[in-house]
Structure 1
């Protein structure tokens, strides 16, 4: 693909609504713009009428119906009493907070639990504000409704697992140890009903432990650094998580060691004492929970929040390396949904996600929302990044889904810099600008710009 030369588009002098309205194209009125914006939001938007005995709906955007799992026609039976789809406690909360908001004029927030069309539960966060632009004999609220079901389920699972781990900790085996520093002897004491309950001493521990790899190699540096520090000056109730064969001599398991050091009368440290607990199940569950919270359910890539956090963390590490922030959008994605259905559209998203992950295995790759993806990579050259994206565009143009080939075209905007002073917002805004230019110039191409 030929290299794309994109001229910079002039930015408006300000970004307020009055400036934006001045830029509307002929034939586009404010009503059309508002309707388009509402239908493309990634959250539900609702306008409610608070009647004495019920909450009546006046408007829902498309995302609201998708979120609650109803079509507009299916939801019609609840339109005059929206709270009938909620569990009792949640309905009472809405009435209580809305009533208070009518008196105070303050925006209210409410976490509500309801039922989807398929019978499954849904948790939503409602942010509602009293408005006066709708004629009605009853108070009218404009509400933003966000699906928080995954977060609630994660919190519930975490609470259950936390209680499970408390029980396990109270009933499971642990290993106590005593490290004699002058003689370099480590003694482990196993108890708790084990068949091999006994003391196990290792002479020349510093050398033997490294040679026999008692500590998992990737964790060895932090383990021996902690042991060295505790051996030089007194420490109290320190903790360290690492993988070791201390609990099970046949396999590495995650353990948590709580330790203190003891000094003699002269202040010289002579012993390190502690207790090592098996936390392997807990650690792996934590890792699973992190994945649940961070991963996009459709593509398996990092979700918007996780992508942002990972990139911001990398940017904060001042490395003086070239950094590349790419924003990618699937061209005419709506056509896939309209022609083949939303399930196929999801397959297109998954296919693009897989292709990006394969093409950029060492980069942060995430789904930013809808049909937009983010790629952040560093320590490479501009030409290499462009070549990789050109290869990606070529491969995606003949992607295979369900045994058939389809043409998936994408537009890419890249912002890059050699400076450590460029922050996330600068990268994002410039990449977004380059993506806009790629779309404007005909789609299925790459536009890029260096931030200086």
Structure 2
């Protein structure tokens, strides 16, 4: 337990967000509890959990326990008494706990309604952004917690049909894709730019990548990644976005050396059309960012051409 003055503990209890995972016996003794519950309830030596429940909610809680004994996993909303004698609404998820050798035990996952409301608001915000980015054939969703370096890519489905393609660190995911040649060689720079945009928390970004997104992809496909940054109330930044399978695309102008119309016939250098196409694509990608174009001129180059010929020049 953290040793703090009683007045400080009471103030913390009033505003502390409870998100606890506890074990209770069939007699409702608290066998194991997270720190957040101790902070909220106060001293819990030999505490009977039902003693902390608002009297009118005890019957509802006991009914839920009976349903768990019958093989169910139950959600129930009850009020718990804090160390300053105020009651706060909690959502409790109850399921059997089987690690004990004798007697019945229950696992209670307790979340206060304030925390739950905030989480739901964040999920709604993420969902709205992802829905905004999804096309008619939109396939995958992703989120990235910047401070925790936690990337999650899923294939949405109904209930348990949702498939998690990846969950872990961004660097591990990007290295795996690059090391296993799952990024088309022409898209490597764009893929590295995508990872940089995600890691740095770029406010808004879109990238077209030709890659094998899923391990079971038989070939590389074009995917459009669209993401947006969310600034949470607790100061953390979350990236939310969608990944859509797109139609086959041509490579950017800098990669189309086989297209004669984009090169000067004499020098085979990229011509004005190719440079214009490339500049437009670059500007479209750099939403809300400045783009600088530098033009370099060689003085008196005409003398070289006139003296040695255009082919030499």
Same fold per TM (> 0.5)?
A: no
TM range (shorter): 0.3 to 0.5
1 or 2, which has the higher helix percentage? 1
TM-score by length of 2: 0.40
Taking structure 1 as the reference length, the TM-score comes to 0.29
